[in-house]
Amino acid sequence: MADGYAEDQDLPGLIDTSVAHQARIYDYWLGGKDNFAVDREAAEHALAAYPGLRRGVRAQRAFLARAVGYLAGQAGIRQFLDIGTGIPTASNTHEVAQAIAPEARVVYVDNDPMVLAHARALLTGTTPGATSYLDADLRDTEQILDAASQMLDFRKPIAVLLIGVLQLVPDDDEPHAIVARLAEAASPGSWLAVFHPASDIIPDQIGEAARRVNARSANTTTLRTHAQITRFFDGLEILDPGVVQVHRWRPGSAAPDDGEQIPGYAGLAHKPG
Q: How far apart are CA 177 and CA 2, in angstroms?
A: 40
**Nearest CA to 179 among 224, 113, 114, 241?**
224
Q: How far apart are CA 211 and CA 64, in angstroms?
A: 26
**N- to C-terminal Cα distance for the chain?**
51
What is the reported pLDDT for 125?
A: 56
What is the reported pLDDT for 122?
A: 67
What is the reported pLDDT for 270?
A: 97
What is the reported pLDDT for 124?
A: 61
What is the reported pLDDT for 4?
A: 36
What is the reported pLDDT for 123?
A: 66
What is the reported pLDDT for 247?
A: 97
> Residues 109, 136: contact at Cβ < 8 Å?
yes
What is the reported pLDDT for 144?
A: 97
What is the reported pLDDT for 163?
A: 97
Kindly report the pTM of this predicted structure: 0.92
Residues of the chain where predicted confidence (pLDDT) is lower than 50? 1-9, 12
Q: Which CATH architecture has domain 4-270?
A: 3-Layer(aba) Sandwich (3.40)
